[in-house]
Structure 1
Amino acid sequence: MNEKFFDLKKEKQDRIINAALRSFALGGYIHASTDDIVKLAGISKGLIFHYFETKLGLYQFVYDYSIRVINLEIRAAISGDITDFFTIREEIEKVLSICMQQYPYIKLFLYKAQAEDTPEAASAILQTREGYEAMMHSILERGDITRFKPEANYQIVGDMIEMISKEILEKMFREGIFQPEDYFEEVMKHMNMLRAVTYD
């Protein structure tokens, strides 16, 4: 990736990043079109290849950039003192909602990338993805599970939160009604209900 990309005005950087995020989130690596990306970003195709050389280069950059943005927000926002199982997840969703204000498709893109089965694309992001997953795991592992009812499996509850969040996000985009604050509010309704029925 050409470091001169960051010499562009921030508004133009974000137009390119958001166009790529949208295309890769909706189509995956194979079906994302550089023609669509440049049209959405309002730039020339030559500019994409000048900075990223290939579609794979753009894909890897956008993934690495997304993780960097989220990591910075998480490290700044989530204190090591927070240990409640649900509060940790609430703070993570809050951070992601903040990131989605600037980059609406960032979380949907990460979901799509997690399931990416094109070998070269999956390989290009593997190291960054594993680092991100390890960081998230270490944060979630801090969650205090002692308040759960004996019959409530905290691992299943964690999986449910992830599945519910994903479904809410995908549904909002399908219906064309996505707003970060509405997404966060809807996730919290479900999380608070789970907290109520699984905690002593």
Structure 2
Amino acid sequence: MNEKFFELKKDKQDRMINGAMKVFARNGYKRASTDDMVKEAGISKGLWFHYFGNKLGLYSFIADYAVKYMNMELATMSNRHPEDYFETTLAVEKTKLAVRKSYPYIPLFLSSMEREKDEEALSVLGEYKDAYRQARLKAYEKVSTDNFKDIVSMSVLARTLGLTLDGFLREEYEEDTFSEENYKKEVEDYLHMMSALVTNEEETE
């Protein structure tokens, strides 16, 4: 983390973080423009380079910040999450919505980080992607799948859920206004359907 940056007033910090996060999340590393970040945050380009050196330094900082913030929220959730697999998945998605109150683009940035292909960006992303994955896995460590049908492959189920929920998330960000209610309803309906498909009937009665 950049210690000098955190000496700024919190309002200015958040404007810069949110501005950079939005541009990186929507455009990916290669197409992200610092000029667009300047417009989003209303802060001169000189300050960006003063604190972060270059575009890669800024991207690394944003990735680090987003992952640590999200992981902190996931850890809080993990202390009270249910043992049901699908309820836990819903709790994770609700946590994504909760972090939007302070940093509206954290969920989309984390999604874009997982899909990033640029070699320069990938040179700094390894540890952040791993830390985020570990936090998500930890959220499920107390979950029981004893009531799942024998045919269910957990790796296939997890990948299917991940891709579908990520698709819902990205679609919502494409709208002019992100509707948390629409997103939550889509997620709840989908998880309810998937639960009915993979869970033994006698366990759901």
TM-score (norm 2): 0.89
2:47 counterpart of 1:47: yes
Matched AA of 1:100: R
Please give the alpha-carbon distance, in whole angstroms, between the structure 2 residues aligned to 1:182 and 1:51: 38
Q: Which moved more, 1:152-161 or 1:48-57?
A: 152-161
User: Deviation of residue 127 (structure 1)?
Assistant: 1.3
Matches of residues 129-140 of structure 1 in structure 2 within 5 Å? 129-140=129-140
Say whether the 8 Å CA contact 1:104–1:180 is kept in structure 2.
Answer: no
Instruction: State how far apart, in whole Å, the 1-side matches of 2:175 and 2:51 are.
Output: 34
**1:176 positional shift:** 2.2
- Whether the 8 Å CA contact 1:100–1:180 is kept in 2: the answer is no
Structure 1 runs of 4+ with >6 Å offset:
none
Count of equivalent residues: 200
Aligned to 2:102: 102
What TM-score results when the alignment is normalised by the length of structure 1? 0.91
Q: Kindly tell me: are residues 85 and 40 of structure 1, through their superposed partners in 2, closer, same or farther at Cα, counting changes over 3 Å?
A: same
> Equivalents in 2 of 1:183, 1:13: separation in Å?
28
* Identity %, equivalent residues: 38
Q: Distance in 1 between the 2:17 and 2:170 partners?
A: 20
| 8 Å Cα contact 1:169/1:178 also seen in 2 | no
Q: Residue in 2 aligned with 1:10? A: 10
Q: Is the 8 A contact 2:77 2:139 kept in 1?
A: no
1:153-195 deviations in Å (ceiling 9; x for gaps)? 3332222221121111111122323133432232122112211
1:141 Cα shift? 4.5
2:179 corresponds to 1:182: no
**Paired residue for 1:192?**
192
Alpha-carbon distance between aligned partners in 1 of 2:81 and 2:20, rounded to the nearest angstrom: 36
Matched, 1:149 2:149: yes
Note the alpha carbon deviations across 1:118-166, whole angstroms, 9 max, x for none.
2221111211221221232233354311111234433322222211211
1: CA distance between counterparts of 2:181 and 2:64? 25
Q: 1:81 to 1:183 in 2, by over 3 A?
A: closer
Q: Is the 8 A contact 1:21 1:109 kept in 2?
A: yes
2:171 counterpart residue number: 171
Of stretches 70-79 and 136-145 in structure 1, the one that deviates more from structure 2 is 136-145
Equivalent position SS for 2:4: helix
In structure 2, what residue type is equivalent to 1:5? F
One-letter amino acid of the structure 1 residue matched with residue 23 of structure 2: S
Please, which moves more after superposition, 31-40 or 11-20?
11-20
Quote the offset at 1:101 in angstroms.
2.3
- Paired residues of 1:94 and 1:184 also in contact (CA < 8 A): yes
Distance in 2 separating the partners of 1:9 and 1:46: 17
Aligned to 2:29: 29
